[in-house]
Amino acid sequence: MFTIEHEFDSTIITLVDEDKTPLLEDAVINVFEDRVTLSQWDSVKREMVKITLSISQTRDLEAALDLPEGVYRLRLASDAPEE
């Protein structure tokens, strides 16, 4: 299950783990104009852990989800040579 909320300067996506036990804490993805942050509660450290991805890294991640093992460089349509 997931939720989507639109704030003034970002979109917040919360991923809720509903799979079989053991369940993990909710993962919160906050999408800003220039970056994406992922946050999740770490029950061992007892603190919120957050990483930040650039928009470019986010595009690469999106592409990587559907590709087989390997090394890739994402080429955008705007990067293609003009004919």
pLDDT digits (tens, 9 = 90+) for 59-78: 888 888 888 888 888 777 77
Instruction: State residue 83's pLDDT score.
Output: 60
Segments in 1-83 forming alpha helices (H): 55-64
Give the C-alpha separation, 8 to 31, whole Å. 11
Rounded (to 5) percent helix, strand, coil in the chain? 15, 35, 45
pTM value is: 0.76
Structure tokens at 49: 């852990």
